[in-house]
Chain A
Amino acid sequence: MVKTRRIITTLLRLLALGATLSATVVMVTSHDSADVLNLKFSAKYTNSPTFKYYVIAEAIATGYSLIVLFLSSKSLVWRLIVILDVVIAMLLTSSISAALAIAQIGKKGNSHAGWLPICGQVPKFCDHVTGALIAGFVAAIVYLVLNLYSLHAVLSPLFPVKP
């Protein structure tokens, strides 16, 4: 049973690593430019501080997943890992929700504030950002499932206390 638990957690962490890595890479490589009325209109992820924060948060989560994957299960820091998992899950949910809020304005605009949507002028940028957001959303959900599984496995009396 210990082996099953270890296989499931390793699989979940691999999935989270893949999702965060792809979210970072896709967001960094998203850029598009268009000429509207003789004005050059270029969109990059650095134009918005929200997307910069998104890239930084996903990169931190990628590094953390990589480090924890190579950690042996017999080490004494597994309790710290459970707590750090909660912190990283919080970081991921915060970055994805902030990026979703700004991306929603970019797509639909905000008529009350007089903000026009920009997806009509730079469609490639919008598609790239949508892909990165989907990957980030998957990563956040996988980390939440990982946390619930760790807590459940620690609590269930069928499993031994140390993994």
Chain B
Amino acid sequence: MAPQSGTEKPMFGYGSISCKAKSRWSWTLVGLRLLAFLATAAAAVVMLLNKQTKTFVIATVGTTPVNLTLTAKFQHTPAFVFFVVANGLASIHNLLMVMVDLFGSKVDYKGLRFAMIAILDMLNVALVSGGANAAAFMAELGKNGNSYARWDKICDRFGRFCDRGGGALIASFVALALMLIISVISIVKVLKSNK
């Protein structure tokens, strides 16, 4: 008698695991990816809209005060620009991976599915880690200044700018931790499917 097709799963080939009903692990992975997408998108958007304008009175000529208007924008610092770009790209990657997990079971990947997912996950972890850390140390410089280099801190004058930047940084670090876990799970899946 031929073996029943419902009881045995083919153990070779890359696309075979996704044919059957989704296990609990797969739903956990999709949930984690959704959370990581939300975190990176939030970080990118909050830093993108980060702007504060303040007028300072620097002198008084007669009775009219002389005003100076200063703006703090995220574009002034290359580290923050890189932060926005890195988080934007990572959120696009997470969205694509969620789509592939949910809707992509019918597309033919030519046996490369788990390979591409693991490699892309690893590259995006490196990208987000670079962006988040550069912005974190730049924010630390803005908060504390550097007395050796005679650089003044700016957070006492632009408090709201610093607060919003800090919020975006926290979101990005949460996203980094989630993406690291996702990358480790993807690599473990690849190692298991090659047994």
Contact = CB atoms under 8 A, between A and B. Distances in A.
Interface of A: 42-43, 47-50, 53, 79, 82-83, 86-87, 89-91, 93-98, 100-102, 104-106, 110, 112-116, 118, 140, 144, 147-148, 151-152, 154-155, 161
Nearest to A82: B187
B78 A101 contact: yes
Interface stretch (B17-25, B27-35, B43-51, B135-143): B135-143
Nearest to B130: A97
- Interface on chain B toward A: helix, strand, loop, or mixed SS? helix
A47 B146 CA distance: 8
Nearest to B148: A47
Contacts of B58: none
A16 to B, nearest CB: 15
Nearest to B131: A97
B134 A100 contact: yes
A118 to B, nearest CB: 5
Given A47-B149, A86-B125, A154-B194, A101 B138 contact: yes
Given A47-B146, A49-B140, A90-B180, A151 B134 contact: no
23 contacts: A42-B148, A49-B137, A50-B137, A82-B191, A83-B187, A83-B188, A86-B183, A93-B126, A93-B129, A94-B130, A95-B133, A96-B130, A97-B134, A98-B134, A112-B76, A113-B142, A113-B154, A116-B150, A144-B126, A148-B119, A151-B118, A151-B187, A155-B115
Interface in B107-129: 114-115, 118-119, 122-123, 125-127, 129
Nearest to B149: A118
B190 A102 contact: no
- Interface on chain A toward B: helix, strand, loop, or mixed SS? helix
Contacts of B114: 155
A116 B72 CA distance: 17
Please give me the 3 A-B residue pairs with the lowest Cβ-Cβ distance, nearest first: A97-B130, A94-B133, A101-B79
Given A49-B140, A151-B187, A93 B115 contact: no
A94 B130 CA distance: 4
A82 B114 CA distance: 16
